[in-house]
């Protein structure tokens, strides 16, 4: 299955009491699905999936799958769990709810044990039991588990393991992987890496920035596809600071604040995360205003 495209790994709005705000989620879904995206990814890092119960994950998947299907868009479900059995169960449940593919975070609590043999056995077992294609999720800054190319090349041999979301932005490694596995679909895991990944034959991006600036990312893609490389580079560079603000600098609270400023309903983060403080808000405000992304009167 060709999964190429631009995907927001969507943020989930919570109330101040930490319940999922489904009314705001429906509002956001209408906005997202009218943007130039190819689908949604949920639940994932930006959804605060680590802070959600299994029942909440399934409820969110159900709502998003229905909305995506009605809009003719894809849904990639985050189904990585700490055990192989739980990952299989959640992946199968996601498929039953209508997910087109699954994005699998590796098990990471027992980091020293997560060697090539363990990881390949885990992913292959899930792939054997999965009705839908899988994407490996490489995000060592969160998990402490980094996939090397020998492991990825082995995983790529499985017909159900279709590609990778690489949030390490290791373009040298990904270029080598693409040479070794030309049909493996490689997604940038951050908005700032879209153009470099496209230049090596990447499949697109699964990026926090797409939660509120999908059109800007699409402009980068379209300029590159049309051979306007200097324009694509300028557009990509223009997004660098706001991308950093909603990822490494301020994380999910920064993302939710930026969404609120851009006309979405960001909601509250779940504790222990706290809302963005005044200095962070001022910094994000300045970046959004400079790019013309903020909604009027937001």
For residue range 48-70, what is the model confidence (pLDDT) as tens digits?
A: 999 999 999 999 999 999 999 99
* Region 241-253 average pLDDT: 95
pLDDT for 297 equals 76
pLDDT(34) > 80: yes
Secondary structure class of 137 (helix, strand, coil) = strand
Ligand-binding site membership of 37 (annotated): no
111 is catalytic: no
Contact 186, 163 (CB under 8 A): yes
- Quick check: is 160 catalytic? no
pLDDT of res. 231: 98
> What's residue 296's pLDDT?
84
According to CATH, the superfamily of the domain at 5-214 is Aldolase class I (3.20.20.70)
* Catalytic position from the list 7, 73, 123, 137: 137
Question: Could you tell me where the DSSP H helices lie in 72-213?
Answer: 84-97, 116-129, 140-143, 149-156, 171-180, 194-199
Q: What is the pLDDT of residues 143-187, one digit of tens each?
A: 999 999 999 999 999 999 999 999 999 999 999 999 999 999 999
Distance CA 108, CA 88 (A): 16
Contacts of 86 (CB under 8 A, 6+ apart): none
Mean pLDDT score across all residues of the chain: 98
**Does the pLDDT of residue 298 top 80, yes or no?**
no
Q: What is the pLDDT of residues 251-294, one digit of tens each?
A: 999 999 999 999 999 999 999 999 999 999 999 999 999 999 99
Mean pLDDT value of segment 193-211 = 98
| Spatial contact of 61 and 238, defined as CB atoms under 8 Å apart | no
Pick the catalytic residue from 123, 165, 224, 250. Answer: 165
């Amino acid at each position: 299955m060709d999964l190429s495209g631009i995907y927001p790994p969507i943020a989930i709005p919570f109330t101040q009491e930490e319940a999922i705000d489904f009314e705001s989620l429906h509002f956001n879904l209408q906005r997202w699905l009218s943007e130039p995206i190819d689908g949604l990814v949920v639940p994932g890092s930006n959804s605060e999936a680590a802070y959600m119960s299994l029942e909440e994950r399934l409820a969110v998947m159900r709502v998003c799958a229905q909305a995506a299907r009605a809009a003719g868009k894809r849904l990639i479900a985050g189904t990585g769990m700490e055990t192989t059995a739980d990952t299989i169960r959640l992946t199968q449940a996601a498929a039953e709810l209508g997910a087109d593919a699954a994005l699998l975070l590796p098990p990471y609590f027992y980091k020293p044990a997560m060697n090539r043999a363990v990881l390949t056995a885990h992913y292959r077992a899930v792939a054997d039991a999965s009705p839908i294609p899988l994407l490996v999720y490489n995000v060592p800054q969160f998990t402490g588990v980094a996939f090397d190319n020998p492991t990825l090349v082995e995983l790529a041999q499985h017909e159900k393991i279709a590609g990778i979301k690489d949030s390490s932005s290791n373009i040298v490694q990904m270029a080598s992987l693409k040479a070794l596995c030309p049909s493996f679909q490689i997604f940038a895991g951050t908005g700032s890496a879209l153009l470099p990944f496209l230049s090596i034959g990447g499949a697109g991006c699964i990026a926090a920035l797409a939660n509120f600036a999908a059109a800007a990312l699409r402009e980068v893609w379209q300029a590159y596809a049309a051979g306007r490389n200097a324009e694509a580079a300028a557009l990509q560079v223009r997004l660098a600071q706001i991308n950093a603000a909603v990822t490494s600098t301020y994380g999910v609270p920064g993302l939710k604040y930026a969404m609120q400023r851009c006309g979405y309903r960001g909601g509250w983060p779940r504790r222990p995360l706290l809302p963005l403080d005044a200095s962070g808000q001022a910094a994000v405000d300045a970046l959004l205003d400079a790019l013309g992304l903020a909604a009027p009167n937001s």
